[in-house]
Structure 1
Amino acid sequence: MIVGVLRETAPRESRVALTPDDVRGLSTAGLQVVVEEGAGRGAGFADSAYRASGALVVADRATVFESSGIVAWVKPPAFELASMPLRAGMALVGFQDPHYRRDEIDRLRGRGVESVGFDLVPRDETTTEIDALSTMSRIAGAVGYAEGRKLLSPQVRARPIRSLVLGCGTAGLAAVAAAHTFADEKPSAVGNRLEQESAALAAGAGRFVPNQDDNAALLDLLATTPPDLIVCTAVHRGSRAPRLLGQASLDLLTPGTVIVDLVAKAGGNCVATVPDTTVTLPNGVLVTHRSNYPTAHPRAASHAYSAAMAAMILRIAKGQR
């Protein structure tokens, strides 16, 4: 079986789906790897390193698709997949943005091309296999907190800021922990299950607020303790993100408040979120989203992502033999 690795074309994306080390591991397992020229450059991996690991480096993406039974990417390509030489039996592996690309994924499936999405693959707690979504979420939570903090006014940043984290999954707990690195106030963490409290407090939250569907607890928190920074991370894997910050919530915030919505590609926790855009609301609240926060650390993020990708490829290859 031949595995293809694309050069990323999503805006500002510098990660790569497979590192030279994991290419070597796949080659040792009996798989051939074809890498598009320049695929690893943004993460610091030269074409020569891929050749030394046993890969064939080719000049164009069409050759990658033509040669490969499995094509690996980080983010969905910016080009039209229909323009590539697709064929039945191929597997396209990586993040798939299923809420925005559902129709395209269905069309591909109709042609016999399967889309394997890390955003949809259930986490298996019974194995030690690295989970791509969890590792990228951990980086995104920490980076999202830090970048949101930079958007606050200098006067606010001059003191320990008050933050609120929505969601107590991997990204949320990473955002909570990030507050400690800046010596900020301990964040308030909002979750939908009481059993999340211990993890939130262990990560460094000052308090845990259990929130129900009516958002009454969240609205009360915003009214009594308005935060400087809100980091939105609440989403169940494969599901649409709950709208936790509606207009009533936004009206309670003070001018200059920053909202970082990490789950915009799943619909967003904030009603005012626009994917890959920063907007300022009429009341002076800033709402921002970027789909690739892990690219702030492209080499480390690529190593983590590649390990998960290699494990998934081996699983697929074993099933097809």
Structure 2
Amino acid sequence: MHIGVPKEIKPQEARVGLTPAGVRELVEHGHQVTVETRAGQGAGLADSDYEAAGATIAEDAERVFETADMIVKVKEPQPEEYKRLLEGQILFTYLHLAPDAEQTRGLVDSGCVAIAYETVTADDGSLPLLAPMSEVAGRLSVQAGAHCLENVNGGAGMLLGGVPGVPGANTVVVGGGVVGSNALRMALGLGAQVTVLDNSLERLRALDALYGGRLHTLFSNTDTLERSIAEADLVIGAVLLPGAAAPKLVTEAMIASMRPGSVVVDVAIDQGGCFETSRATSHSEPTYTVDGVVHYCVTNMPGCVARTSTFALTHATLPFVLQLADSGYQQALIDNPHLRAGLNVHGGQITHRAVADNLGYEHTLAESVLGIAADA
């Protein structure tokens, strides 16, 4: 198979779909790889590194898209990219379609086979290709929040960890999954006072066993959310419904109850955000203020640590890329139900129920388009 790796063009996005080591594995499996020139530059990976691994370097994205059987990216395709997609061409990347009607329409019209990293599953129900970037985003959320709490960035002028005699910032993490557990770990390490809310008692018990009295755990409901957020200096939104738009758990009234100069970081913004007051921002203009509360809602948070993120992502995605390339996408999706869960769009049809439900499309079973029994 011929695999293409274009340079990411989303603003301030410096990650790349494959490392040279990933390219080498594909080449050793007998596949061709074309990488757009300077695609890895932001992650410290030179064209010469990719050439040494066996890749061909293309001078522009057009060449990558027109020759590849499968496009491997990081972020969702931008309009000029999904217009280049070919009928039957495989696209393997993060998509986050539920809040993005325009991109969904572009993929449907292209006739491509779009497989989303964020809905590929594992035996335990986890999301193995979302996890590495969730780990990065969770840790970054605390750095971003601490930075926003500084006076020069509109915050209340608080040091996240405090100093002897002055308490650290009251930090509330909404959601105790991969993002939330990484966020609270970083916040605790910096000396903040941390509370985590989740609607899974099993998850709260696990976090309590790890951190004991250092971490406050609360069962998440409207009452506990209202009280916790009103007292918070920093709130990190870390909730997820796989493939679907994030639930708006934090209302505008809750935001208005916070002290001026408080900060919220919405890590769920890729899926539409979990705060009613959230709107997508970029690394160049990361924040805005509502009711005196600083909002940080950057949609590609891990893009600012491109080298770490690129290596972490390739380590997770490469086994699936190899399976798609070695077996062909149809056989790979038939053989691997977890990879099949990543199929969002196929030949103009929406094959992920949450995406279809959120955007008003008819849902077509992935098994149906692949010609296999629904219970296979």
How far did 1:202 drift?
A: 4.5
User: Given residue 297 of structure 2, which amino acid in structure 1 is its aligned partner?
Assistant: H
Q: Does 1:94 align with 2:93?
A: yes
What residue in structure 2 maps to residue 279 of structure 1? 288
1:153 is matched with: 150
Q: Which residue of 2 aligns with 1:256?
A: 261
1:138 aligned residue: 135
Deviations 1:139-182 (A, max 9, x none): 10011111111111354215421100001110000000001231
* C-alpha separation in 2, matches of 1:241 and 1:65: 31
Q: Is the 8 A contact 1:164 1:227 kept in 2?
A: yes
Count of aligned residue pairs for this structure pair: 312
Tell me whether 1:218 sits opposite 2:215 in the alignment.
Answer: no
Q: Is the 8 A contact 1:34 1:56 kept in 2?
A: yes
Aligned to 1:28: 28
- Match of residue 307, structure 1, among 286, 298, 315: 315
- Larger displacement relative to structure 2 (187-196 or 300-309): 300-309
Residue identity in the other structure for 1:104? Q
**Does residue 115 in structure 1 map to residue 123 in structure 2?**
no
Q: For residue 124 of structure 2, what is the amino acid of its counterpart?
A: E
Segments of structure 1 that go 5 or more residues without pairing to the other structure are: none
SS of equivalent residue, structure 1 residue 146? helix
Displacement of 1:267 in angstroms is 1.8
CA contact (8 A) 2:172 2:229 kept: no
Structure 1, 59-68 or 301-310: larger mean CA deviation: 301-310
User: Is the contact made by 1:118 and 1:132 (CA closer than 8 Å) also made in structure 2?
Assistant: yes
Aligned to 1:192: 199
TM-score, reference length from structure 1? 0.91
What corresponds to 2:232 in structure 1?
A: 227
Aligned to 2:184: 176
Cα deviation 1:277-299 (Å, max 9, x = unaligned): 522123x1111111222233221
CA deviations on 1:263-318 (whole Å, 9 max, x unpaired) are 11212111111111522123x11111112222332212111111223222122224
Aligned to 2:14: 14
Equivalent position of 1:2 in the other structure: 2
**What is the RMSD computed on CA atoms of the aligned residues?**
2.1
Distance in 2 between the 1:310 and 1:184 partners? 37
Q: Deviations over 1:54-73 (max 9, x none)?
A: 00001011110111000011
TM-score (norm 2): 0.78
Output the amino acid matched with 1:293. Answer: M
Deviation, 1:82, is 4.9
Q: 1:256 to 1:274 in 2, by over 3 A?
A: same
User: For 1:66-116, what per-residue CA distance to the aligned partner results, in whole angstroms no more than 9, with x for missing partners?
Assistant: 1100001111233423542x3222111111121243453355345430111
Relative to structure 1, is the Cα distance of residues 280 and 74 closer, same or farther in structure 2, using a 3 angstrom cutoff?
same
Query: 233, 236, 246: which is aligned to 2:241?
Result: 236
Q: Which amino acid aligns with 2:267?
A: L
Instruction: Say which is worse superposed, 231-240 or 49-58, in terms of deviation.
Output: 231-240
Give SS of 2:98's match. Answer: helix
Distance 2:20 2:298 in 1: 27
The letter of the residue matching 1:195 is E
Regions of 4+ moved over 6 Å: none
Report the 3-state secondary structure (helix = DSSP H, G, I; strand = E; otherwise coil) of the residue aligned with 1:99.
Answer: coil
Q: 1:295 aligns with which of 303, 316, 331?
A: 303
